[in-house]
Amino acid sequence: MKRKIYDELIKWKNNTNNLKPLMILGVRQCGKTYIINEFCKNEFKNYKYVNLLKEDNIIELYNSNLTSDEKYKRLKVLLNFDFDTEDTILFIDEIQESEKLISELKYFCEEHNKVKIIVAGSLLGVKLKRSKSSFPVGKVKMLTMYPMDFEEFLIAFDENNLIDCIKDCYLNNKQISNPVHEKALNFYRTYLITGGMPESVNNMINVQGNYIKYDTSILQDIVESYFYDMRKYVESENEYLKIVRTYNSLPSQLANNSNKFQYSSISNDARKREYESSLDWLNASNLVLKCKYAKVPNVPIEGFVDDDTFKLYLSDIGVLNNILKINIKDILTDNLSLYRGVITENYVANQLTCNGFDLYYWKNDKTAEIDFLIYTNDGIIPIEVKSGTSTHSKSLTMYIDKYKPKYAIRLSLKDFGYNPDTKIKSVPLYATFMIKNNN
């Protein structure tokens, strides 16, 4: 499967003037190992893959009192691989198993900066945050990988012509025509079922889009693997239980009337001081996406954030729908009641995050609320999300009148369009992946 991060890997390889070890972060099973492996095999003559879950000897080596130079030489011996040679790369997977080796990446950067090394691992963000060893700040290039966005999903289905058509209509504000629009909407609804986890998407491809044959247990297994990680990478059983309670509360929290995360929704006696570390864990693991409340939509937007008010979305829309145990038929027919809007918002949050946007939202003291604000070269742009075809909204009109953005975006099930009077750009939900900082 083609992944956009491959282009970033190529850029890293070609940046010979400032080559640093590359660290890939991302939620479990989003495809990190697969795409890094493909990159290493395709772009280098010599390649060595190491999985620290199977290499206790390497962990033992880096826990020893040897000097960095001695560890470096002995690593070559253990691997029987000279990663100093030209056109050669070393990929160390599950590197979170060795804090000392993570720390030694500084030595790789400073003393052997011609060596090409990539590292990745499950819950690596959590490990880095809680590591007792020093992290090589400034000595490592870091990239975050997410589940497949909707464009990558269409690429996997070999729908490149549809992608080109979507891009053309988005950039030129012209309608896509109803038959093509309906085709794209069908793929959008399929994506809501599978989400962006490669194994889930691949299964839908293998059954040729037959929803009856789609294996829903794939996403369930992924969720169970998250809970396994929660137990494995925590300091106590009590911490594990708090993280699980917090994570399990999120689907219902997205639908609460307050439109924000509430500690009291975890349990009646939950307090911020008791559960704040659980939120930090979930954030660092990339299992959730934090959407911050901006009190005033001014630049710099981060300077106007209320730290105590935020929303949390799940990192993958397929995972959310699996946790909610929603019937596939109800997704296909939009029979989702209150959760129709919740699911649509979470989908948009996923797509915006994949395109590198930090997530913000805005609301006034009354009833007006803008689902997302993105900080772009055009300033702060409001995004309104509609789960259906009805696009009437007082909130967006009020926001435009008050803050005068260069333009606004309204996402819905309707076709493309642009109103020069209101400066509202209408975008179908399936084209959310086109919202980027350069257009």
- Percent residues over pLDDT 70 in the chain: 100
Q: Which of 119, 145, 171 is the last residue of a domain?
A: 145
Q: Are residues 383 and 292 in the same domain?
A: yes
The Cα 249–Cα 265 span in angstroms is 7
Q: Which of 145, 178, 201 is the last residue of a domain?
A: 145
- Tell whether 176 is covered by a domain: no
Q: Are residues 134 and 258 in the same domain?
A: no
Q: Which of 100, 126, 145 is the last residue of a domain?
A: 145
The Cα 23–Cα 39 span in angstroms is 14
- Residues 6 or more apart whose CB falls under 8 angstroms from that of 308 comprise none
- Tell whether 126 is covered by a domain: yes
- Tell whether 152 is covered by a domain: no
Chain segment 309-348, per-residue pLDDT in tens: 999 999 999 999 999 999 999 999 888 877 899 999 999 9
Structure tokens at 313: 């979305």
Q: What is the pLDDT of residue 393?
A: 80
Domain that holds residue 87: 5-145
Query: Average pLDDT in the 39-56 region?
Result: 97
Is the predicted pLDDT of residue 439 greater than 70, yes or no? Answer: no
H/E element holding 261?
none
Which 8-state DSSP code applies to residue 216?
Answer: T
Q: Are residues 409 and 265 in the same domain?
A: yes
Query: Average pLDDT in the 171-198 region?
Result: 96
Is the predicted pLDDT of residue 161 greater than 90, yes or no? Answer: yes
The Cα 183–Cα 83 span in angstroms is 48
Q: Are residues 27 and 108 in the same domain?
A: yes
Chain segment 301-310, per-residue pLDDT in tens: 999 999 999 9
- Residues 6 or more apart whose CB falls under 8 angstroms from that of 22 comprise 9, 12, 117, 118, 119, 140, 141, 142, 143
- Tell whether 196 is covered by a domain: no
Structure tokens at 42: 């395709």
Our count of domains for the chain comes to 2
Is the predicted pLDDT of residue 16 greater than 90, yes or no? Answer: no
> Diameter of the chain by CA atoms?
70
Task: Say how many CA atoms lie within 13 Å of 343 toward its Cβ.
Answer: 29
Structural contact between residues 391 and 418, judged by C-beta atoms closer than 8 angstroms: no
Handedness of CA 329, 332, 338, 340 (dihedral sign): positive
Looking up residue 26, the CATH number of its domain turns out to be 3.40.50.300
Query: Average pLDDT in the 164-173 region?
Result: 97
- Tell whether 56 is covered by a domain: yes
The Cα 27–Cα 405 span in angstroms is 34
User: 3-class SS at 437?
Assistant: coil
Q: Are residues 238 and 120 in the same domain?
A: no
Q: Are residues 229 and 96 in the same domain?
A: no
- Choose between 268 and 218: higher pLDDT: 218
C-alpha gyration radius of the chain: 23
- Tell whether 169 is covered by a domain: no
Query: Average pLDDT in the 113-122 region?
Result: 92
Q: What is the pLDDT of residue 112?
A: 93
What mean pLDDT, rounded, does the chain reach?
93
Inter-CA distances, 78 with 58, 238, 408, 438, Å: 8, 39, 57, 47
Is the predicted pLDDT of residue 197 greater than 90, yes or no? Answer: yes
Q: Are residues 241 and 117 in the same domain?
A: no
The Cα 342–Cα 334 span in angstroms is 12
Structure tokens at 231: 């137990």
Starting at the edge strand found earlier in the chain, the sheet holding 288-294 runs: 305-314, 288-294, 359-363, 369-376, 379-385, 408-412, 424-428, 417-419
Q: Are residues 224 and 349 in the same domain?
A: yes
- Asked whether the whole model's pTM tops 0.85, one would answer yes
Q: What is the pLDDT of residue 389?
A: 87
- Tell whether 211 is covered by a domain: no
Q: Are residues 235 and 139 in the same domain?
A: no
Beta bridge partners of 372: 383
Alpha helices in 44-98 (DSSP H): 56-63, 68-79
The Cα 155–Cα 163 span in angstroms is 8
Query: Average pLDDT in the 162-181 region?
Result: 96
- Tell whether 166 is covered by a domain: no
Torsion angle of C-alpha atoms 51, 53, 57, 60, degrees rounded to 10: 120
User: 3-class SS at 423?
Assistant: coil
The Cα 24–Cα 36 span in angstroms is 9
Q: What is the pLDDT of residue 391?
A: 79
Query: Average pLDDT in the 215-234 region?
Result: 92
Asked, as a colleague might, if the bond just before 420 is cis with ω within 30 of 0, I would say no
Q: What is the pLDDT of residue 51?
A: 97
The Cα 321–Cα 304 span in angstroms is 33
Task: Say how many CA atoms lie within 13 Å of 414 toward its Cβ.
Answer: 18
Q: What is the pLDDT of residue 268?
A: 77
Structure tokens at 112: 């052997």
Q: Are residues 119 and 241 in the same domain?
A: no
